Amino acid sequence: MPKYIVTIGLEVHAQLNTKSKMFCTCAVGYGGEPNTQTCPVCLGLPGALPVLNLGAIEKTILTGLMLGCRTPEISKWDRKNYFYPDMPKNYQTTQMDLPLCLGGGVPLYDFAYPKDAQKTIANPGKIVNLTRIHLEEDVGKSTHHDKFTTLDFNRAGTPLMEIVSEPELDSAEEVVAYLNSLRQILIYGGVGDADMEKGQMRADVNISVRPEGQKELGTKIELKNINSMSAIRRAVKAETERQIDVLEGRHPTDKVLVQSTRRWDDDLGETTLMRSKEDAHDYRYFPCPDLIPVKTAPIIERMKPLRPELPHEKCARFEKDFGLTAYDANVLASEQALAAYFEQAVSAAPNAPAKKIANWIINELLGRLNEAAQTITDCTLEPASIGELVALVEAGKISNNQGKEVFGELFANGGKPADIVKAKGFEQVSDTGALEAIVDQIIAGAAEKVAEVKGGNEKALNWFTGQAMKLSGGKANPKLVTEIVRKKVLG
């Protein structure tokens, strides 16, 4: 049986979060009443003329700066001609030969892979090169019913980046990692929300399969506009298997691979033919006569200071400056709001180890938020409260278990950690004289345990600490108790 090489390229359409559309002043928004956010320009009525949205151009160039793209000195707009019912002008204003961004790449973050694939990443640290990023207008939305189709043009004209990768992805898992990593970067830059469920980010997946040893790529098949990560993963696997079946002559209906566009049917778990694939010449591109070219240098200079610290850069800093593990740094940097929460908590408690604060946020806070079906942006617990709580635990003023009880109160009702500790009577006894009296009492009645410690069983010290906690009602400082027992028993 021959082995096959899978090659995948992606065309990601990402809406920009501008207030108005690409070529008119209609508002951009999700969920409005159908066809209420339209005007003669985005409806393509005769005589209506477009005006460029500078904010959309700025956000696209900022995206290019984040992804290491270069920008031509002059960028222009073109008309791409085709007929679809959701594009009433019968052409799309887009960019052909002088797009806003060329080159660059998307890093595949380890934690962007599906969870079940994170321990078996074939190419850790991989960067997928980009061909280009061009800016265009989105189309309307078609909703297909049993016997008719409804059209909503609210989305038509929304600024849309098309981010085109080189064919360098090798698997469905890498596709998911690419999309998750790209989404993370777009959100970090504040250029878009990239919510796939709302259609703010959509992916066309180009797949080809060829036998090992064959240099030229196989026939390219495009999967169109799949709107969830899990569906994309299933679709890529199913289409890859279909192409291999065709090449080996065992597919029940398809005998040869034809360049085409296919639709993913998630219920059936298979792809179905939509249309034969068009090439660039089929679209009859020509320069848009209504829009002048743009000089990009001044815009680039304005955007450079706005380039944010990206997730992988933030991870490296967290590891270097705070001593976090790669895992902890990646979890905290996975969301910009979560990373900011962590840094605010650290700032509020300079004497508490940052690693301990990270542990409490990852293990306790994220756990509670997950149980409540909330995200960090829903969290009402102040970052400073986490820092102060960790400082109390690390200073030995309350035990770790008491700290968890205080945390539960903070998460549910808010307040200040010190006030909750006082109200619950959790202040630990750290008076050496009082603790020595308790330890003396325990030692006097525990000759066998004393012998164990003297015999080299250090774990037996924990028994003494536990007894001291019981006698003190949980208020004894456990670290201090252990030190006193060691000194009295071992000298």
List phi, psi (to 5°) of 472. -95, 5
List phi, psi (to 5°) of 280. -55, -40
DSSP for 134-148, please give it. Answer: EEEE---EEEE-SS-
Domain ranges of the chain: 4-303, 309-423, 432-490
Burial of 280: CB neighbours in 10 Å, binned 0-12, 13-18, 19+: exposed
Containing H/E element for 243?
helix 229-247
Total Cβ atoms within 10 A of residue 72: 15
In sequence order, the β-bridge partners of residue 198 are none
What is residue 489's predicted lDDT score, i.e. its pLDDT?
76
Written as one letter, the residue type at 266 is: D
As a whole number of angstroms, the distance between CA 31 and CA 48 comes to 26
As a whole number of angstroms, the distance between CA 491 and CA 481 comes to 15
Which residues are CB-neighbours of 463 under 8 A, at least 6 positions away?
446, 449
CATH number of 432-490: 1.10.10.410
Strands 260-265 and 221-226: parallel
CA triple 191-346-431, angle to 5 deg: 165
Burial of 147: CB neighbours in 10 Å, binned 0-12, 13-18, 19+: exposed
Among the listed residues 427, 440, 418, the one whose alpha carbon sits nearest the alpha carbon of residue 484 = 440
8 A C-beta contact, residue 15 and residue 158: yes
Containing H/E element for 127?
strand 127-137
What is residue 448's predicted lDDT score, i.e. its pLDDT?
80
List phi, psi (to 5°) of 167. -75, 80
8 A C-beta contact, residue 195 and residue 187: no
Containing H/E element for 54?
helix 54-66
Burial of 43: CB neighbours in 10 Å, binned 0-12, 13-18, 19+: middle
8 A C-beta contact, residue 450 and residue 439: no
List, for residues 208-251, the tens digit of each pLDDT value.
999 999 999 999 999 987 878 999 999 999 999 999 999 999 99
Q: What does pTM read for this prediction? A: 0.86
Among the listed residues 160, 235, 249, 242, the one whose alpha carbon sits nearest the alpha carbon of residue 209 = 242
| Sign of the alpha-carbon dihedral angle for 321, 314, 54, 196 | negative
What is residue 278's predicted lDDT score, i.e. its pLDDT?
64
Residues of the chain with pLDDT under 70: 1, 277-281, 427-431, 474, 491
8 A C-beta contact, residue 273 and residue 262: yes
